[in-house]
Chain A
Amino acid sequence: MASDSGEAASSSAELKLQFAPFSSALEAGFWHQLTQKKLNDYRLDESPKCIKGYYYNGDPVGLPTRLTLEFSAFDIDGPTPARCCPAVGTLYNTNTLDAFKTTDKKAFIWDAIQSGAALKDPSILCRFILLTFADLKKYHFYYWFCFPALCFPEGIKIVQRPAVLEQVFSAKQIAALQEAYDGLCVQKGITAVPYFLMKYSADAVQLAPLGDWETFYTDMKKVTVGVYDPCTLSQHPGWPLRNLLVLLANQWGSKVDTVEVLCFRDRTMQGSRSIQHSVTFQVKLPELPNSSVCPKSVGWEKNPKGVMGPRMVNLSECMDPKRLAESSVDLNLKLMRWRLVPTLDLDKVVNTKCLLLGAGTLGCNVARTLMGWGVRHISFVDNAKISYSNPVRQPLYEFEDCLGGGKSKAMAAVERLTKIFPGVNAEGYNMSIPMPGHPVNFSQATLSQAQRDVEQLEKLISEHDVVFLLMDTRESRWLPTVIAASKRKLVVNAALGFDTFVVMRHGLKKPAASQSVSTAADSSPSCSSASSSSSTPAGSAPSVPVSSLFSNIPGHKLGCYFCNDVVAPGDSTRDRTLDQQCTVSRPGLAMIAGALAVEMMVSILQHSEGGYAVASSSDDRMNEPPTSLGLVPHQIRGFLSRFDNVLPASLAFDKCTACSPIVLDHYEREGFNFLSKVFNSSHSFLEDLTGLTLLHQETQAAEVNHSHTSG
């Protein structure tokens, strides 16, 4: 609220009139339009431009006295909103901050007053100046309004204090005034009259345009002027009256002593109109010391600090395309929460750092789905180049990317993600992942390269929250499985057959400290779903009531990709079938599996226990889901030929070649020495280490035995 200091000093004989200054009000569209004008029309042209604003006298109490500029401000001949008064201004849009120049803000008003032009077009009295500087790189806009007002050196003495119209006028007079004002509007063909002359008796009110002064007032003993008043304060008139009084003093100062002012306020609330809150008072019209010299002028708008200076508005959020993209993406996700899943914890998803090992068909689809979830931090590891067959299946690449030998997939994927969404924080690593059965000891150089690769991979896994295994061979998944298991990172694995796929989360081992206590239970012989249940001791899941063996497996007891296998990974491209290679899968499969891998991650993140969540199974489909998004399975196995998915769960295998305690223990103690032995040896090395060899021999013996007895 403006201070009502005038009211406090009411007893003083020297009560001076104070005006409520305009507050500039800019619509969002104004800045958009100014930007367009600057870019397309004005460019470097700094010459003054004509613009148009408006003010309104129907605001509810408490709102600031505004002069509004909307996007149509540049269309000087365009319509003014109904029942608003137009105000024309001059825009000085400067190219540099230094060019904010001193402008002669008062001359045009004084000229119009002296020449009498203001009588014919009184809107000149409300002319304004706007200085702008647009920093279109940052979308920062500096602006400074001036609503020039000429001043009487001694101020304006109040003769009769401001009073609300209904205390002064009878209901009949008020009705007559309203009717007369509407009539004047019709007569002038406009919906708001900024200034008018007034005569009234006990039962009639007569109004006339300002220009009719000489004919309207035969007796200048008492004159009443009406001002369309945008102010809502009861003790103060708004700014438009100020220059009018100077005009009156200049034109008729010698003849007029006291001026009665009607601050005409006209508001409609809930369809009911009233003008009785208009304000009326009388002032002594001061003399202008020298009618040929321009009086002192004021009117620059204060900034938020309350001092003379420009205002700044930062519009990057609604104008910077990159910021707009970010806020739209976020908003889209929030809408999912607001509308459908109120308990969805989006921050958990958005802030998850994802490492994608493999930037092929799976990697591309996983990345796109992660982007859809608003995940900002995505890193790719791949050593391949984009080949001609890739773009049709790998949605981050184009034909152009294949030319000249092809771009590196990891790098091209980053480039494309950034193009799709500049807000993403993507990194690419063009590197190989050493694999069991793929020797690295050809030379010192290859060995140290392998060591560097391992270190890099260890570093990357440490720096991320979720590791996606999306490679095209089984054995390349071994090293990251071991490292991630050791570092207790969540692993989501997707692998494709021709028309089948598996998407699974690896069991997340308990933190190292607590594991020492439960080692005995955890490492006790258990089995995978594939093998016979008889080898699992009763004590393997003591705390959870088990209805069937494979239900309710807690996350830390779940198996990894290698747990179901009774052979160690080796060179699959040489001596194994191709069924684990995604190059010969049905084209839709990678999209399905890639999408499911991300959705599984999101569901895991929504579970209060994260990677330790008990695995949901197909049987749980009818039960109360554990998260707002539903089930958190261990595995999704899909069969495209039947268009069917199942949700198996399996226990970690104590002889697993990747996540068994003995492998992790060797890795953690011997590091690269152990790993290089694995890389350089045949698969029997891991099988011997974990006891798989022994298991094979026993099984063979049992089979021989069995065939003997049955045969």
Chain B
Amino acid sequence: MSCFALDEERFRLCCRLLLQRSDQLRDGWSWNVVQGSEEGYLKKTVLRSDSELHATPTAEEQQREQSAAAPEGIRGHSEDDDDEDDGACTVLESSRQALQYEYHVLYSCSYNTPVLYFRAFTLEGRSLSLEEVWSSVHPNFRLRLQESPLDTITQQEHPLLGQPFFMLHPCKTEEFMKPLLQAAVDQNRPVNYVLSWLSVVGPVVGLHVPLQYCETG
């Protein structure tokens, strides 16, 4: 059993290898350090346009945002009239309906496993509720997601940032990692715990791990 547990040192090593490969593949992972501490986490941000995701803000939300009248004092800008800019092409608000997805990989000391934290937000920086995130997932995938044994999404404060995130609870991680690691041991094949784990849990929340990660050790 102990050979399947992941200690923090090995977690860091796995992350370093993953980062090296990510850099080669330009996959966008980075190591972020919390200021004034030793602790850090893997981070990746992905932007998706809304049409791709079948998600639009509810009519109510749009109404709410549009009706939020600018308070007095913010309006006046007399310096020059920007409206007269024919050097800019028009950007429709609809083209701004993109969602930013932020994924963090942290180490859990209590479970001895990696943990995936994520949140999704609009370009304004407003985080989506879990239902909104789900409604942005393709219906076919949503069904699979609900039936998935990995579906252990919980809302929790990010342990390092103190901001609300969703997380895939690590309580089942060992359960599905064990056979995977056992197979690797049996076949005497090196395995990056974090990478293998990420390739299993990532797709559940729309995070794809390109196959090229496995092409070179």
Contact = CB atoms under 8 A, between A and B. Distances in A.
Contacts of A21: 88-89, 91
Contacts of A60: 49
Nearest to A135: B71
Contacts of B51: 62
B38 interface: no
B126 A315 contact: yes
B79 A242 contact: no
Contacts of B91: 2, 20-21, 23, 64-65, 302
A25 interface: yes
A312 B124 CA distance: 8
Interface string A37-71: 00000000000000000000011101111100011
Contact of B151 (A296, A300, A339): A339
State which size class the interface on B falls in: 35 or more
A167 interface: no
A19 B85 CA distance: 10
Contact of B79 (A102, A268, A305, A310): A102
A300 B90 contact: no
B65 A3 contact: no
B109 interface: no
A404 interface: no
A335 B84 CA distance: 52
Contact of A298 (B47, B73, B80, B123): B80
A330 B168 CA distance: 17
A268 B150 CA distance: 29
B68 interface: yes
B37 interface: no
B174 interface: no
Contacts of A284: none
Contact of A75 (B35, B76, B86, B96): B35
A313 B57 CA distance: 13
Interface stretch (A93-101, A452-460, A462-470, A641-649): A93-101
Contacts, number: 203
Contact of B45 (A27, A75, A236, A317): A27
Contacts of B76: 102
B82 A308 contact: yes
Contacts of B119: 28
Contacts of A312: 65, 68, 70
B126 A19 contact: no
A244 B216 CA distance: 42
A71 B211 CA distance: 31
Contacts of B84: 298
A97 to B, nearest CB: 4
A58 B123 contact: no
Looking at B25, B91, B164, the one whose CB has the most chain A CB atoms below 10 A away is B91
Interface string B22-45: 010111101000010000000001
B111 interface: no
Contacts of B2: none
B216 to A, nearest CB: 11
Interface string A292-320: 00001111101111101111111101100
13 contacts: A1-B92, A21-B91, A23-B95, A25-B100, A28-B163, A29-B163, A64-B96, A102-B78, A236-B89, A270-B210, A298-B87, A317-B129, A335-B153
Given A27-B102, A140-B68, A271-B210, 7 more contacts: A16-B87, A19-B89, A64-B95, A64-B123, A81-B45, A299-B82, A338-B151
